């Protein structure tokens, strides 16, 4: 009799447990659906740059699902987009705090989410918290050491922190971890990208651009070394020849008060050779025409003032060719847009 009563009680408890679990699962499912709905509404508002409205939707989504990592991420991104770097008003700094709070929470939930790591690193970067941002950017490489784009992302981060270079030498007063400057760290990341995939010409293009853009004095010859390496990998790419031509012209023009006339002329000839090669590969490429014009006008005509009239006529000819090529390029783009129904 006792056994029968016990079995009856257990059966009742089991039925009640099933009812409770079913009810809880139902509530959980409804809650998750509501969270998903508000998250999607928030994303649409975010895409339309309506960040204040997006914040409200993400907060509602999180009230229904407090573990929705992407809602925390885009809540942080919304506050980040409202934040104005460098403005220290209480209202603006509150936006920074809210952005950081949401992004840190997203990172706590999913510490291996590359998107979250990048968002949080970017926020620290905007707050000029170099060390915190650096750790997160390096974390991206730890997670995906064979993804070359990660090295570019980290290099660009360091590049933003490069101190003004004086006399062609990185400012060693701006020392970071292990005594390396942001300049050296950026340089190393570009080189590591090349090491990861040495047959990818884009890596050589990135580091060449890095050296070309150094201020106040670009590292022209260092950049040109990598321009030439890129050409060896893709000799039929007109852009590779064009960037080489720009590099040689820029050195001759920017350093015209310091270089002997003969060296300026040699640089001009190297520039013309590269630019002409770009046009040989692609005659409809507008930019090489513009730089050929500048080589004749700003180098040849200056080095040989007695021949300036002839060189200026050559310059005018290429200036007109540039305008024609640019017009044809614009017409092609317009036609392509019309065919795609974008106009």
The ranges of the chain with pLDDT < 70 are 1-28, 163-178, 342-343
Give me the pLDDT at residue 15, please: 46
Structure-token pair, residue 228: 């030439």
Give me the pLDDT at residue 177, please: 52
Structure-token pair, residue 113: 């989410």
Q: What is the pLDDT of residues 68-126, one digit of tens each?
A: 999 999 999 999 999 999 898 999 999 999 999 999 999 999 999 999 999 999 999 99
Establish whether domains 38-143 and 149-234 are of one fold.
yes
Give me the pLDDT at residue 299, please: 96
For the range 207-212, what are the long-range contacts, defined as Cβ-Cβ under 8 Å and sequence gap of 24 or more? Answer: 208/243, 208/247, 209/243, 210/155, 210/159, 210/186, 212/247, 212/250
Angstrom distance (rounded) from CA 343 to CA 329? 17
Contact predicate 252/259, CB 8 Å: yes
Give me the pLDDT at residue 287, please: 97
Nearest to 64 by CA among 35, 86, 95: 35
**How far is CA 94 from each of CA 17, 59, 82, 85, 90, rounded to the nearest angstrom?**
46, 16, 10, 12, 6
Contact predicate 42/74, CB 8 Å: yes
Angstrom distance (rounded) from CA 95 to CA 76? 9
Nearest to 265 by CA among 283, 277, 253, 254: 253
Sequence spans of domains, the chain: 38-143, 149-234, 257-343
Which neighbouring-strand residues pair with 169?
Answer: 166
Give me the pLDDT at residue 166, please: 39
What are φ and ψ of residue 333, in 5° steps?
A: -65, -40
Nearest to 290 by CA among 318, 249, 252: 318
Residue 339: Cβ-neighbour burial (10 angstroms; 0-12, 13-18, 19+): exposed
Angstrom distance (rounded) from CA 134 to CA 157? 8
Angstrom distance (rounded) from CA 39 to CA 54? 9
Contact predicate 58/41, CB 8 Å: no
Q: 1.10.3470.10, 3.30.360.10, 3.40.605.10, 1.25.40.10: which CATH number matches 38-143? A: 1.25.40.10
Within its chain, how far is the Cα of 257 from the centroid?
A: 35
**How far is CA 154 from each of CA 148, 211, 225, rounded to the nearest angstrom?**
10, 16, 22
pTM (2 decimals)? Answer: 0.78
CATH architecture of 149-234: Alpha Horseshoe (1.25)
Structure-token pair, residue 17: 């447990």
């Amino acid at each position: 009799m006792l056994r029968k009563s016990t079995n009856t009680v257990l059966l009742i408890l089991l039925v009640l447990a099933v009812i409770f679990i079913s009810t809880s699962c139902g509530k959980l499912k409804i809650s998750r659906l509501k969270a998903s709905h508000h998250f999607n509404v928030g994303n649409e508002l975010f895409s339309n740059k309506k960040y204040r409205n997006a914040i409200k939707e993400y907060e509602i989504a999180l009230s229904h699902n407090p573990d929705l990592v992407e809602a925390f991420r885009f809540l942080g991104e919304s506050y980040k987009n409202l934040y104005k770097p460098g403005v220290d008003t209480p209202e603006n700094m509150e936006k920074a705090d809210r952005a950081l709070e949401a992004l840190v929470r997203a990172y706590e939930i999913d510490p291996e989410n590359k998107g979250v790591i990048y968002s949080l690193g970017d926020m620290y970067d905007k707050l000029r918290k170099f060390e915190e941002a650096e750790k997160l950017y390096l974390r991206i490489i730890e997670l995906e050491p064979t993804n070359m784009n990660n090295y570019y992302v980290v290099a660009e981060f360091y590049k933003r922190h490069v101190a003004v270079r004086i006399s062609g030498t990185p400012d060693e007063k701006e020392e970071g971890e292990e005594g390396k400057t942001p300049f050296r760290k950026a340089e190393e990341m570009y080189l590591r990208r090349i090491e990861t995939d040495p047959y990818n010409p884009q890596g050589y293009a990135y580091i060449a651009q890095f050296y070309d853009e150094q201020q106040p004095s670009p590292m022209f010859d260092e950049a040109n070394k990598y321009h030439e390496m890129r050409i060896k990998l893709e000799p039929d790419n007109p852009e590779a020849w064009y960037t080489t031509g720009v590099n040689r012209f820029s050195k001759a023009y920017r350093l015209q008060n310091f270089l002997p006339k003969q060296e300026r002329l040699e640089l001009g000839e190297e520039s013309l050779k590269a630019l002409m090669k770009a046009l040989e590969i692609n005659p409809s490429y507008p930019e090489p025409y513009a730089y050929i014009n500048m080589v004749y006008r700003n180098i040849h005509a200056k080095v040989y003032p007695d021949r300036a009239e002839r060189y200026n006529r050559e310059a005018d000819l290429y200036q007109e060719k540039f305008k024609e090529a640019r017009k044809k390029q614009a017409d092609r783009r317009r036609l392509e847009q019309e065919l795609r129904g974008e106009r």
